[in-house]
Amino acid sequence: MTQPRLGPALAFLGIGLMGKPMTIRLLHAGYQLTVWNRTLSKADPLAALGAQVAATPGAAVRGADIVITMLETGTIVREIVERCGPELCRGSLLIDMSSTRQSEAQALHDHLAIHGVAFVDAPVSGGVAGAEAGSLAIMAGGSANNFTRAEAVLHAMGRPTLVGPAGCGQLAKLCNQLIVGGTLNIVAEALLLAQAGGADPAAVRDAIRGGFAESRILEVHGRRMLERNFIPGGQVKSQAKDLENVLLAATAAGVHLPFTELVTERYRSIVRDLPHADHAAALLALEQLNPGQRLGNLPDRLPD
C-alpha cells in the first residue's frame, strides 16, 4: 500500500554553493524533493539522501506543488522558468531564492500570474554556514496568502519575514548587501589603519568588540582579514552584482546613495581578478589603493 505523501512536493532548481546545503535541510525536514542542476553530478550527494534527480528543469517541476529556484542571476532564473514551460503546474507556487534585481522579480511575478502560478521572491543572507545550520535570514516579497503557503518550507531553511509585495524581498536583500558591503570595507579600513599607525590590529579588533562597533562582520570577516582567509562563503562576484543592483534600485526609487557608489567601485576593482574570493577581499581592494601597506604577514588563502 502506498504511503500518503506528507507536505507539498518540492522541486529545487540550482545546486550551487548555497543550494546544496539548503536542499539538505529540506530533505532532513522530510520533504519529497526533486532537484535539477546544469551540472547533474552536483546533485549526486542529494540522491544518496533521498532526492530525485531530474535531467531537465521541466522534468524537475512536473507535479511539484512548490518550485524553488536558487540560480546565479535574474536572467538565468527567467530562462530556466521559461524552459519549464507547461510543466510548471497551474496553481503551483514558485519561490525564487536567488539574488536578482527588484525589477526582475516584479516582471517574473507578472509573467507567472498570466499562467496561474503564484510567486514569492525570497532571497537569503547568512552564507554557506547559515544554509548548513538552517539559520538563513529570508526576506520574502509577495502576497500574504502566498507567503503563508511558503512559510513552512522556508522555516526549514531559516527565518522568513514578509517585507512587502512581490519584488520587495529583493529590495530587502539589496539593503542587506549594502550594509554588508559597506561594513566589510569599513572593517578593512579600520584594521589597516590600526596596523599602519603602530597598533596590533588583532588587539584593536578585540578591544572594540562589545562596544558600539561590534558586528557580525567585525567578528567573522574581521578575523578572516587578519588571517588573510579569502576562501569563499560569499563571493566577490556576488557582492559586486548585488551592489550594482542596489544602484539600479536607487535610480528607480529616485534616491542618490553616494557611499554605495564608493563601495561598488571597490568591488569593481577586484571582481575581474578575484571573482570567487570571499567578499572579505575588500581588504585586498583597499591594499591596492595603499601600496606598501599590507595587513599582517600571513600568506593569502585564495580559492583555486
Homologous superfamily of 171-289 in CATH? N-(1-d-carboxylethyl)-l-norvaline Dehydrogenase; domain 2 (1.10.1040.10)
Res 228: pLDDT: 98
Q: What is the pLDDT of residues 202-259, one digit of tens each?
A: 999 999 999 999 999 999 999 999 999 999 888 999 999 989 999 999 999 999 999 9
The position carrying cell 576593482 is 269
What is the average pLDDT score of the chain? 94
Q: Give the pLDDT mean for 289-299.
A: 96
Bridge partner residues of 119 (DSSP): 94
Res 15: pLDDT: 94
Amino acid identity for residue 142 in this structure? G
Residue 20 among the catalytic residues? no
Q: Phi and psi for 125 in degrees, rounded to 5? A: -135, 145
Helices marked H in 168-257: 168-196, 201-208, 216, 222-227, 236-253
Q: What is the pLDDT of residues 80-100, one digit of tens each?
A: 999 998 999 999 999 999 999
Indicate if the pLDDT at residue 5 is higher than 80. no
Same fold, 9-165 and 171-289: no
Q: Phi and psi for 267 in degrees, rounded to 5? A: -70, -35
4 or 104, higher pLDDT:
104
Amino acid identity for residue 169 in this structure? G
Does domain 9-165 fall under CATH 3.40.720.10? My reply is no
Among 20, 42, 173, 237, the active-site one is: 173
Q: Is the pTM of this model over 0.85?
A: yes
Q: What is the pLDDT of residues 163-179, one digit of tens each?
A: 999 999 999 999 999 99
Distance, CA of 157 to CA of 178 (rounded, Å): 23
Q: State the pairing for strand pair 124-125/136-141.
A: antiparallel
All structural domains of the chain with their residue ranges: 9-165, 171-289
Nearest by Cα to 13 from 42, 30, 37: 37
